[in-house]
Amino acid sequence: MNVGGRAFLAPGLLLILVAIGGRYTLDRAGLLELAWVDLRVIGLIVALVVLGLGAGRTRRPPMQREGWLVAALLFFLFQIASGLWAPSAARVGPQTLDLVLLGVLVVAFYRYSLGDPETVVRFTFRLFFVAAIVYALAAIFISGPGEQGRYSAFGGGPNVFARIEVLGVISAVALFMLTGRILPLLVIPLFLLATVLSGSRGTLVAGAVVGFVAVLKLRHRLRGGAIALAALVAVVAVGAIWAFAPPEFTDLFQERFVEQTVQEQYLSGRTDIWMAAVDMFIDHPIAGAGLDGFYGLIGVNQAVEYPHNYVLAVAAEGGLAGLGLLTVSIVLWTRIVRGGGARPQLTGLAVAATVFVALSGLFSGDYYDSRLAWMFAGLAAAAALVPVPAGAREPAVAR
């Protein structure tokens, strides 16, 4: 099996780039006359062709315990079908395209990961590490602050930008654990600076929760050297941020995190939006208001795109039926990854990334913005399910 060759890594590179790029139409690159060209579709088609061409050179991945994926696909199909009873103002067409591409992306990346989970896990975290660096530098030195003083890169929103930066932190930790090299940890201050400059409070909360749980889980395995190193990195990170941050950093931190959040307890209207989604679920408890029903009934009049909470969006637009399918998928997936399966360390790293993106989705983002959570979920399931080849063992983890 040519796991290290270009033929193997090429489909993974394309799939991850499609996921990171998001809804990248050519108008974001300044080509307004080609705004109809959706690079996600082109990227996925090329990735599937490359993946198909390389299928004959790799061993056939096993088919086992994939109920979580079946439930997820049924969930996506139900969401698409709910467009039949969506309100007239709902944007059913674009939302359907998002869900179709999401399903294809998840299935393709999961099947790709089954071929060689160890290689894919390493490759994925390396790529996200590099992507976080590129996005951070582009945001700080090229894009600059937006109208609200928040930073992002390549035309994307600040919340998605912040997710990539925190995934960069997780990737840096993963690379340190897998290789024992300290260099990735030294880039963490850049990622943290970029995350704060994004102004995404929900992302910071999600990252803090995942970090706290990870330390709590590993507290009995951490050695004095690892604790000292972590403390040193934290001190260096804070010092570097305050020393090298642009002048806008202090103003943004003071206004958004201190004045708005702590003093004024301002949450960008999230509580009102969430309560509106709850009321919609109460009004349509069985099958919901239909795909994009929140926008069709509420958002179209209040300039609100979506409920900014993945679970509440599913409840409002899919009702108990949608929540049930989502819950089944999560429960079946949890049973697979609990304990780590064949590769506890690699599975744990992928689970951490999955949970982080999922928690971030409780504060912002629509259905397609959940793509990284679903992809990392597939990676974690593959790492847990695929047996370790005879005579091989999981790579040692640095401590």
pLDDT tens, per residue, the chain with 399 residues: 344 444 478 888 999 999 998 887 666 666 666 666 788 898 899 999 988 876 655 555 555 678 999 999 999 999 999 999 999 999 999 999 999 999 999 999 999 999 889 999 999 999 999 999 999 999 988 887 777 778 888 878 889 999 999 999 999 999 998 988 889 988 988 898 889 888 888 898 999 999 888 878 766 665 656 566 666 666 766 666 666 666 665 555 555 554 454 444 445 578 889 999 999 999 999 999 999 999 999 988 887 888 999 999 999 999 999 999 999 999 999 999 998 887 899 999 999 999 999 999 999 889 999 999 999 999 999 999 988 775 555 555 444
Asked whether the beta carbons of 185 and 173 are under 8 A apart, the reply is: yes
Q: Which of 260, 340, 336, 283 is nearest to 64 (CA)?
A: 336
- Whether residue 28 lies inside any domain: the answer is no
The verdict on residue 45 lying in a domain is no
Q: Please tell me the predicted confidence (pLDDT) of residue 110.
A: 95
40 found inside a domain = no
Long-range contacts of 390-395 (CB under 8 A, 24+ apart): 394/118, 394/342, 394/343, 394/344, 394/345, 394/346, 395/118, 395/178, 395/345, 395/346
The DSSP call for residue 145 is B
Q: What pLDDT score was predicted for residue 398?
A: 47
| Domain tally, the chain | 1
In this structure, is residue 82 part of a structural domain? yes
Rg of the chain, C-alpha, whole Å: 21
Which residue shows structure tokens 């004959």? 56
Residue 19 belongs to a domain: no
Q: What is the pLDDT of residue 70?
A: 96
Q: Determine, yes or no, domain membership for 77.
A: yes
Whether 12 is in a domain gets the answer: no
Write out the two tokens for 39: 């690079």
Domain that holds residue 318: 64-385
Contacts of 268-277 with C-beta under 8 Å, sequence gap 24+, read 270/308, 270/309, 270/363, 273/304, 273/307, 273/308, 273/309, 274/307, 274/308, 274/309, 274/312, 276/307, 277/307, 277/309, 277/312, 277/313, 277/315, 277/316
pLDDT at 28: 62
Tokens representing residue 332 in the block: 């079946």
Residue 323 CB: number of other CB atoms within 10 A?
A: 17
Write the CA distances from 278 to 136, 197, 312, 316, integer angstroms. 36, 31, 7, 7
Asked if the structure places residue 270 within a domain, the reply is yes
